Amino acid sequence: AQSVTQLDSQVPVFEEAPVELRCNYSSSVSVYLFWYVQYPNQGLQLLLKYLSGSTLVKGINGFEAEFNKSQTSFHLRKPSVHISDTAEYFCAVSSNFNKFYFGSGTKLNVKP
């Protein structure tokens, strides 16, 4: 089985500042990695995913993430955040596209 750890439950940041949301995973087999975003009163939607190839993955809304196999990490970054990025972000892992394991989420609070 796999597991995901998101160490930061909340990240406050000022508008236009850069942000990094951390994600570490545990697995005995190769995995695929995902970041999802959840806006208030909505379901989760996919931001980006790593399946294979380049370890730097670009997603929607200017977000990107880098897969680091040696550190078992998949941190999410954005060089300049907007108020509209305020949401909860979830990292997820899967080894077979059947079961997907999620972290506990990180609430990003962008302040003006």
| Contact present, 100 and 5 (Cβ < 8 Å) | no
Nearest distance, CB of residue 6 and other proteins, angstroms: 8
Measured at the CA of 77, the angle between CA 74 and CA 83, to 5 degrees, comes to 135
Mask 47-86, x = binds other proteins (CB under 8 A)?
--x-x-----------------------------------
Secondary structure class of 83 (helix, strand, coil):
helix
Site for other proteins in 15-34 (CB under 8 A): 32, 34
Nearer to other proteins, 43 or 112 (CB): 43
Binding segment for other proteins (CB under 8 A), chosen from 3-11, 20-28, 58-66, 67-75, is 3-11
Nearest distance, CB of residue 96 and other proteins, angstroms: 8
Question: What kind and span of H or E run contains 61?
Answer: none
Nearer to other proteins, 19 or 103 (CB): 103
**SS3 sequence of 5-45:** ECCCCEEEEECCCCEEECCEEECCCCCEEEEEEECCCCCEE
